[in-house]
């Protein structure tokens, strides 16, 4: 078994996971409690679309076990709407980080996903990027920040060296826009996101067995250079992310319970759950 590798999905609350992943009839409020029996980490996708309320974040803390971790996707109001322009996002970053304080001990990474229109070739974008990193380093743990680019202009040695000097992790992506560059810029943390290659929507894609097998070897190479590796599958349509995440765990000899058996242990129609007896 590979030590230091955590595998999960981007989010857990999807209606189309009822059946393929969760037992039919399972309430949304119970989905996280089911999810934690499969995986030990999850990437919070909802935090990208809005800043969750404090009581919601506190409830996540109560529902997960001590060894469970989260990665948190930074609010799009900062990254996509303001495009890191400090004049536009103002105090949003401080508000965002303060909101997540109850979850802080369980957060291993904050994902800064930049939009496809955010280009290094545009001078103001590069300035905003550097200014954001400087602000982050002054106020928050640099070792927890992960940067996901979506424009090819950022794929150069200058940027990778800059991230290395600041101790900030580069997000390796599996998607149509960028090549999967296995660059390690933080020796304590590497981060991989599997988006997919769907024709109309990236995420509507099931990675084939051979694709996962090939990535197993790449993950092993990454794990030799980084103490911790967070891997998340974002191809959430129809529960594909769960299927592929469990498949990768099998290839890496990371133990997990049987999804089919977990579903059989839980009967939401009768209000019964025997998950704990199985585990």
**Which domains does the chain show, CATH number per domain?**
5-278 (3.20.20.410)
Q: Does residue 198 sit in helix, strand or coil?
A: coil
Per the CB < 8 A criterion, the answer to whether 262 and 34 are in contact is yes
What pLDDT does residue 134 have?
A: 96
What pLDDT does residue 267 have?
A: 64
Q: Which residue, 214, 217, 182, is CA-closest to 2?
A: 217
Report whether pLDDT(160) > 80. yes
Give residue 168's Cα distance to chain centre: 16
Q: What is the largest CA-CA distance in the chain?
A: 60
Q: Which residue, 180, 196, 190, 197, is CA-closest to 234?
A: 196
Q: CA 152 to CA 134: how far, in whole Å? A: 23
Q: Does residue 141 sit in helix, strand or coil?
A: coil
pLDDT confidence band for 272 (50 / 70 / 90): very low
Per the CB < 8 A criterion, the answer to whether 69 and 104 are in contact is no
| Mean of pLDDT values over 41-58 | 96
Q: Which residue, 127, 128, 177, is CA-closest to 148?
A: 177
Q: Which residues contact 119 (CB under 8 A, 6 or more apart)?
A: 125, 151, 153, 154
Report whether pLDDT(211) > 70. yes
Q: Which residue, 44, 19, 168, 27, is CA-closest to 107?
A: 44
What pLDDT does residue 146 have?
A: 99
What pLDDT does residue 279 have?
A: 33
Kindly state the helix (H) or strand (E) to which residue 63 belongs, with its residue range: helix 54-63
Give residue 10's Cα distance to chain centre: 5
pLDDT confidence band for 208 (50 / 70 / 90): very high
What's the full length of the chain, in residues? 279
Per the CB < 8 A criterion, the answer to whether 114 and 79 are in contact is yes
For 79-131, how does the pLDDT look when each residue is reduced to its tens digit (9 = 90+)? Answer: 999 999 999 999 999 999 999 999 999 999 999 999 999 999 988 999 999 99
DSSP letter (8 states) at residue 14: -
Query: Global pTM?
Result: 0.94
């Amino acid at each position: 078994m590979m030590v230091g590798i955590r595998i999960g999905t981007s989010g857990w609350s999807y209606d189309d996971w009822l059946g393929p992943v969760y037992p039919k009839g399972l309430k949304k409020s119970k989905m996280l409690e089911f999810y934690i029996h499969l995986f030990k980490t999850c990437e919070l996708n909802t935090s990208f679309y809005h800043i969750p309320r404090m009581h919601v974040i506190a409830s996540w803390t109560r529902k997960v076990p001590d060894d469970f971790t989260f990665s948190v996707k930074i609010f799009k109001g900062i990254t996509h709407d303001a495009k890191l322009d400090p004049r536009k996002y103002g105090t949003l970053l401080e508000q965002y980080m303060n909101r997540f304080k109850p979850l802080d001990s369980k957060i291993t990474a904050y994902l800064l996903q930049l939009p496809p229109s955010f280009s290094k070739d545009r001078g103001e974008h590069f300035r905003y990027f550097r200014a954001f990193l400087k602000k982050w380093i002054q106020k928050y743990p640099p070792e927890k920040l992960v940067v996901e680019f979506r424009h090819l202009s950022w794929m150069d040695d200058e940027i990778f060296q800059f991230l290395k000097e600041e101790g900030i992790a580069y997000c390796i992506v599996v998607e149509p826009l960028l090549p999967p560059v296995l660059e390690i810029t933080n020796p304590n943390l590497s981060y991989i996101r599997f988006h997919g290659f769907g024709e109309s929507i990236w995420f509507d894609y099931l990675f084939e067995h051979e694709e996962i097998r090939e990535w197993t070897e790449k993950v092993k190479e990454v794990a030799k250079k980084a103490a911790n590796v967070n891997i998340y599958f974002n191809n959430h349509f129809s529960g594909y992310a769960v299927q592929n995440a469990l498949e990768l765990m099998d290839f890496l000899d990371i133990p997990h319970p049987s999804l089919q058996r977990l579903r059989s242990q839980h009967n939401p129609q009768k209000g019964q759950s025997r998950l704990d007896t199985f585990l």
